[in-house]
Amino acid sequence: MVPESKKNHRRVISRTSTLPNQNEYTLALDRELSHVAFSEERAGQWKGLWQTEIFRASQHLGDVNRPARPLDLEIGTGNGTFFAAQAKRFPERDLIGIELKYKPLIQTIRRALRDGAENAIVIRYHAFNIEDLFAPNELNDIYIHFPDPWVAPRKPKNRVVGQPILDSLFEMQKSGSALNFKTDSREYFLWAMDEIRKTKYLIEFETMNLHQSLWREKNFETAFEKIFLKKNIEINFVRLIKP
């Protein structure tokens, strides 16, 4: 059950099974890719069970005898370039991606599968309802890259990286885990930093020009990021740690 204090940031989203006009992406969710792509209707039943019932027990992904592994999360996968690269780079970790739009969601998991990933799944879900999906201390590292900045018109209540969502994510992460946030929007970043300082997270690294910082060598350039860099837009970045 979602605490009363957190209900005000929840969002109502369409149900895939009731869409009047289906296409290859909506149909793939519960058919072709049902073993690695979960609709909003199927995903909620696995809260607290992703490792034991999906990654470890699934005939497609896991081995019932293997120990549970770190479980990372990307919120807003876009077309999946980071997601696929991360799954391939760290095969010893498991990775879940959340995306609301059908086409990028399916493109993301298809990209990962083409790269040979056996440690990745995606979920169609709204990040504002994330309490439905994960139990306390279920997650390890979290990545949020270039979410909608909601600056025109200015609507900060719709921003993912705000105190309500961050407080929820903090509870879902294990101690010592990190949360990485990147945005091209300086307005969003400055607003988010004020929100972050209201939370229990520790700020490990913060910069308003990622590609001129010490973190540059550790950074993976997403598809959006490459576009922004070509336009000489500075990338804002912060890495948070749950103590």
Q: Enumerate domains of the chain plus CATH numbers.
A: 22-241 (3.40.50.150)
Ramachandran area for residue 16 (φ above 0: left; ψ -120 to 50: alpha; else beta): alpha
Report d(CA 127, CA 133) in Å as an integer.
Answer: 10
DSSP 229: H
* pLDDT score, position 188: 97
Q: Over the chain, what is the mean pLDDT?
A: 92
DSSP 125: -
Q: What is the mean pLDDT of the segment spanning 119-145?
A: 97
Which amino acid does the sequence have at 97? G
* pLDDT score, position 2: 43
CB atoms within 10 A of CB 136: 12
Are the C-beta atoms of 208 and 200 separated by less than 8 Å? Answer: no
Report d(CA 51, CA 206) in Å as an integer.
Answer: 32
* pLDDT score, position 154: 83
Report d(CA 128, CA 163) in Å as an integer.
Answer: 12
The most distant pair of C-alpha atoms in the chain lies apart, rounded to whole Å, by 52
Active centre residues (catalytic): 148
* pLDDT score, position 8: 63
Whether the per-residue pLDDT at 63 is higher than 70: the answer is: no
* pLDDT score, position 67: 72
E strand or H helix at 13, and its extent? none
Q: What is the mean pLDDT of the segment spanning 233-242?
A: 98
Residues 6 or more apart in contact with residue 33 via CB below 8 angstroms: 106, 109, 110
Q: What is the mean pLDDT of the segment spanning 134-163?
A: 95
* pLDDT score, position 3: 45
Nearest Cα residue to 143 out of 223, 53, 220, 35: 220
Are the C-beta atoms of 182 and 145 separated by less than 8 Å? Answer: yes
Lowest average pLDDT, out of 6-15, 16-25, 143-152, 178-187, goes to 6-15
E strand or H helix at 241, and its extent? strand 236-241
If pLDDT is split at 50, 70 and 90, which confidence band does 242 have?
A: very high
Nearest Cα residue to 185 out of 223, 150, 220, 211: 150
Phi, psi at 119, each rounded to 5°: -135, 30
Model-level pTM greater than 0.75?
yes
CB atoms within 10 A of CB 39: 19
Are the C-beta atoms of 189 and 149 separated by less than 8 Å? Answer: no
Distance of CA 213 to the CA centre of its chain: 24
Q: What percent of the chain has pLDDT over 70?
A: 93
Report d(CA 141, CA 137) in Å as an integer.
Answer: 11
If pLDDT is split at 50, 70 and 90, which confidence band does 56 have?
A: confident
Residue with tokens 């790269």: 115
Lowest average pLDDT, out of 151-155, 168-172, 209-213, goes to 151-155
